[in-house]
Amino acid sequence: MLSNMPQVFAAGAGRASDENGASPQDGPEMFRSIVESSPTPTAVVDGTSFRCLYANAVMRALGLEAGHALSDRFPEASDERMAETLRNGEGARLRITGPEEVSWNLSVAALDGGPSLLVTLHPAESDSTETAHHHAREVSHRVKNTLQLVSSLLTLQTLSAKDPDMRRAFQEACGRIGTVTQAHQRVHAAARGSLVDFGAYLKDACREMESHFAVGGPERRIAVTVEQAMLPVDSVIPLALILNELVGNATKYAYAAGSPGDIEVSLVPRDEGGRRLSVADHGRGLPQGFEVARADSLGMKVARAFAGQLKGKLRAEPNVPGTRFVLDLPF
């Protein structure tokens, strides 16, 4: 929050000075103008009386102005606590209550060049919000463990299956669960908001698929073109599964057995709005009469179903040579 102030705030040392090592005493008017321009509630407090020397407009709006005692406005920041901070030269951080019972985290550090303190406020999450986030982390961890357990059970079933087709089906199911697990981790790590950077996930997923296909098989290079794509959270897992199916199909069917081949994946904005996911190869092309809407393989059924869930339009077109699958998304 203090990124607009050319200042180093080191909580460990508890002292603040500008980026060149200068203290407020070296240029008090300049330092004061920096404090005033900060978007964060900021004030400089006398280290003896613990009264405000000056505060920026944001802090003044919270009721702390020049001449006011810090403890009068924020009782939790007692004179004793401030004296201890100045005495040991260590930074302090404490929870205080502001106007309308809003909670703040107050950070205080001794300033170089004089017995004064730099005080800043940052909004504090409520206990209920922190508890909710803790519960969300717990639930996410359990979901991840459950998915990994299911994957392990399917792996055991794969090892015990004697029929090659059944073994292959179990392996594909494990792959799909792995895709869901990775996407779930990305969603949970993304944020507490409603958007996820799917572009970053797409790069990571394609890199991992490329490494996976390279083990015990022909070389398959996956070239990725993507701009930052902040997509809705609830679209991540369906889109990840579609990506997995389309890239998997290109890897298995586009090129002759044992032959190397490249796959091109892109996710870019459309001129008319929304985004376009494209998976292309330069292989043998689709069978005569192939139609996305009538393809009966499990992979294509999965891709069609999730494309419909996302209100997208999935189609296949010639790539000359090869094939391109295109999914137009409305978001």
**Top-level class of domain 7-123:** alpha beta
Lookup: tokens for 40:
């964060």
Alpha carbon 169 to its chain's center: 33
- Tell me, what amino acid is at 212? H
- Tell me, what amino acid is at 179? T
How far, CA to CA in Å, does 224 sit from each of 278, 313, 321?
10, 21, 19
How far, CA to CA in Å, does 305 sit from each of 109, 251, 314, 316?
57, 21, 10, 15
Q: What is the pLDDT of residue 316?
A: 94
pLDDT tens figures, 267-298: 999 989 899 999 999 999 988 889 998 988 88
In whole angstroms, what is the distance from residue 80 CA to residue 100 CA?
26
In whole angstroms, what is the distance from residue 123 CA to residue 56 CA?
16
In whole angstroms, what is the distance from residue 202 CA to residue 208 CA?
10
Could you please report the per-residue DSSP string of 103-152?
Answer: EEEEEEEEETTSSEEEEEEEE---HHHHHHHHHHHHHHHHHHHHHHHHHH
Structural domain spans, the chain: 7-123, 126-190, 193-331
In whole angstroms, what is the distance from residue 74 CA to residue 107 CA?
13
Q: What is the pLDDT of residue 214?
A: 62
Q: What is the pLDDT of residue 6?
A: 35
Question: Is 193-331 CATH 3.40.190.10?
Answer: no
Could you please report the per-residue DSSP string of 245-273?
Answer: HHHHHHHHHSS-TT--EEEEEEEEE-TTS
Give first-to-last CA distance, the chain, whole Å.
Answer: 31
In whole angstroms, what is the distance from residue 232 CA to residue 195 CA?
5
Residue 170's SS3 state is helix
Q: What is the pLDDT of residue 68?
A: 93
| pLDDT per residue as tens, the chain (331 positions) | 333 333 333 333 344 554 444 445 556 777 888 888 888 889 998 888 899 999 998 888 888 899 999 888 888 888 888 777 667 655 566 676 655 556 788 888 877 656 788 888 887 765 555 555 555 566 656 666 676 777 677 777 777 778 888 887 777 777 777 777 777 666 665 554 567 788 888 888 888 888 776 655 667 789 999 977 888 888 888 898 899 889 988 888 888 877 888 999 999 999 898 999 999 999 999 888 899 989 888 888 889 999 999 999 999 999 989 999 999 999 8
In 3D space, the residue among 129, 127, 122 whose CA is nearest the CA of residue 62 turns out to be: 122
Tell me the whole-structure pTM to 2 decimals. 0.52
